[in-house]
Amino acid sequence: MLPATLLAKKRDGQTLSDAEIHFLIDGFCSGKVADYQMAALAMAICINGMQPAEISALTGAMVRSGDKLPRCSDRPRVDKHSTGGLGDKVSLILAPLLATCDVDVPMISGRGLGLTGGTLDKLESIQGFRTQLSMEESTKILRKTGVFIIGAGPEIAPADQRLYALRDVTGTVESIALITASILSKKLAARLDALVMDVKVGAGGFMKTLDQARQLAQSLIRVGAQSDLPITAILSDMNQPLGAAIGNAIEVNEAVDVLQGIGPPEVRELTIQLAANALVACHDDLSRDDAVAKLTKHLDSGIAMERFEQMVIAQGGRPDFPRPIGSELMIECPVDGWVEKIDCELLGQIVIELGGGRQQKQDRIDPSVGLQVHCRVGQRVRRGTPILSLHCDKRQHDEYRGPLEKAVIISDQSVRSVPLIIEQLS
């Protein structure tokens, strides 16, 4: 087989066989298929899509390009993945919470992409926290604490890491087929018994429409089933930030609040619902009501917070909370009314510009930069009450006061609140 022949075949909208897909991925990893050829394949997939069998073959080839995590206990192994959204700190809470329920949680996570913050970046705002561990180190931690949150090392799905770097610079990130294979190649390499997905829908997430979100969720569930990995998906609203905090250190602080039984109710609700899906998937004798009750108890009792601190220490971090954040600029509501819209894209862009996210891959993050949103869509607000707080270097306050004053739209008529959980799919 010649790579050029297979690329032309896919460019013409034809279906590639399992053998052809494995040939291309193996060749890409060995250097026999050049970067520009694989970039052309990604573009062809982005334009023409892939059949379900092709996506399964692509996922399998990516898994086969590296090693799998060893099993280190008889406990069920579960994980959660989010497509990313503004203020989404659920992973920081859910992973240690699930680990208190007699399951192992080997969470392989990522860094910020566009407006959406990365779990690894947030954790690295904790002094000393290590997100890059060898397979031996991570296995030892999993055996001891039942949970870790790390980045994918060179051993796990290296084909995905190389292909993702190409997708990022060639405008092919948004392909449902490539997203599915990218997510599941890492999750299958972790040898999971169940996976829960949080697919964000709206301006502050990656999938802007409900139709796109459904397509991605259904693709993940279908390929997971073909790979013997049960997957459930929650489609959750991302037309406003999740919780109040946006940033790195400030989101860690909010996650700690939820782990201590307080914090924004919407963050707590989504975390419990996702975690309950995971427990029910791997315990046939556990009802959903019992799963929710158990998870709620572990949050309120402080058991989940203790497990989070154990994980932080095991990964080299110092559990000193709250983490320091920048100087505060308060934005007050200009009129009486109801919150009609919160401009997620504007808020996310401001955090990035101030150093709370990356504009280029090599950019260093300032973990002290962040925002707090003191209102929700549909909420009644009064003139002079706080609606936003910016945390950054005080010298930058004046520059961002004007844009922030436009970030929350106030209506003089009542506005219906938006449900957090839109749909559940399995």
Residues 310 and 338 in one domain: no
How far is Cα 288 from Cα 283, in angstroms, rounded to an integer? 10
Q: Kindly report, residue by residue over 45-87, the tens digit of the pLDDT.
A: 999 999 999 999 999 999 999 999 998 888 999 999 998 889 9
Selecting among 160, 198, 237, 343, the annotated active-site residue is 160
What residues contact residue 143 under an 8 Å CB cut-off, 6+ apart?
Answer: 72, 73
Please say whether the dihedral angle defined by the alpha carbons of residues 404, 407, 408 and 409, taken in this order, is positive or negative.
positive
Selecting among 10, 89, 167, 214, the annotated active-site residue is 167
Average pLDDT, the chain: 93
Q: What is the CATH number of the domain that holds 106?
A: 3.40.1030.10
In the numeric block, the tokens 């996976």 are attached to 195
Residues 118 and 230 in one domain: yes
Q: How many CB atoms lie within 10 A of CB 132?
A: 13
Whether 206 has a pLDDT exceeding 90, the answer reads: no
81 is catalytic: yes
Domain's final residue, options 280, 314, 348? 314
Q: Kindly report, residue by residue over 284-333, the tens digit of the pLDDT.
A: 889 999 999 999 999 999 999 999 999 999 999 999 999 999 999 999 99
Beta strands 245-247 and 78-82, pairing class: unpaired
Whether 402 has a pLDDT exceeding 70, the answer reads: yes
Beta strands 194-201 and 78-82, pairing class: parallel
pLDDT at 166: 81
Residues 9 and 127 in one domain: no
167 is catalytic: yes
Q: Is 65 inside any structural domain?
A: no
Domain's final residue, options 292, 314, 336? 314
Share of residues in the chain with pLDDT > 90 (%) = 81
Selecting among 10, 77, 80, 81, the annotated active-site residue is 81
More confident residue, 382 or 46: 382
Whether 396 has a pLDDT exceeding 70, the answer reads: yes
Residues 83 and 188 in one domain: yes
Most confident of 99-113, 175-189, 202-216, 367-381: 367-381
How far is Cα 297 from Cα 286, in angstroms, rounded to an integer? 15
CB–CB of 107/149 below 8 Å? yes
182 is catalytic: yes
How far is Cα 2 from Cα 11, in angstroms, rounded to an integer? 14
Max distance between CA atoms of the chain, in angstroms, equals: 69
Residues 336 and 226 in one domain: no
Residues 98 and 184 in one domain: yes
Residues 211 and 293 in one domain: yes
Q: What is the CATH number of the domain that holds 402?
A: 3.90.1170.30
Residues 302 and 369 in one domain: no
Q: What is the CATH number of the domain that holds 13?
A: 1.20.970.10
Selecting among 56, 82, 182, 219, the annotated active-site residue is 182
Selecting among 111, 122, 186, 376, the annotated active-site residue is 186
pLDDT at 113: 62
Domain's final residue, options 258, 290, 314? 314
Q: Is 62 inside any structural domain?
A: no
Residues 284 and 358 in one domain: no
If pLDDT is split at 50, 70 and 90, which confidence band does 426 have?
A: confident
How many domains would you assign to the chain?
3
Q: How many CB atoms lie within 10 A of CB 163?
A: 27
Q: Is 64 inside any structural domain?
A: no
Residues 233 and 283 in one domain: yes
Q: Which residues pair with 408 in a beta bridge?
A: 342
Residues 97 and 240 in one domain: yes
Task: Say what angle helices 35-48 and 18-30 make with each other, to 10 degrees.
Answer: 140
Residues 225 and 290 in one domain: yes
pLDDT at 173: 75
In a 13 Å sphere around the CA of 57, the CA atoms on its Cβ side amount to 17
Q: Kindly report, residue by residue over 295-306, the tens digit of the pLDDT.
A: 999 999 999 999
CA-based end-to-end distance of the chain: 38
What residues contact residue 199 under an 8 Å CB cut-off, 6+ apart?
Answer: 82, 83, 207, 213, 216, 217, 233, 234, 235, 236
130 is catalytic: no
Q: Kindly report, residue by residue over 85-133, the tens digit of the pLDDT.
A: 899 999 999 999 999 999 999 999 887 666 677 899 999 999 999 999 9
CB–CB of 248/370 below 8 Å? yes
CA distances from 214 to 75, 180, 241, 382 (A): 31, 12, 20, 37
Helix (H) or strand (E) holding 296: helix 288-301
3-state helix, strand, coil in the chain (%, to 5): 45, 15, 35
Q: Kindly report, residue by residue over 137-153, the tens digit of the pLDDT.
A: 999 999 999 999 999 88
CB–CB of 258/298 below 8 Å? no
Whether 280 has a pLDDT exceeding 70, the answer reads: yes
How far is Cα 358 from Cα 115, in angstroms, rounded to an integer? 9
Whether 1 has a pLDDT exceeding 90, the answer reads: no
- Domain of residue 345 covers 327-411
CB–CB of 98/78 below 8 Å? yes
Q: Is 163 inside any structural domain?
A: no
186 is catalytic: yes
How far is Cα 192 from Cα 181, in angstroms, rounded to an integer? 15
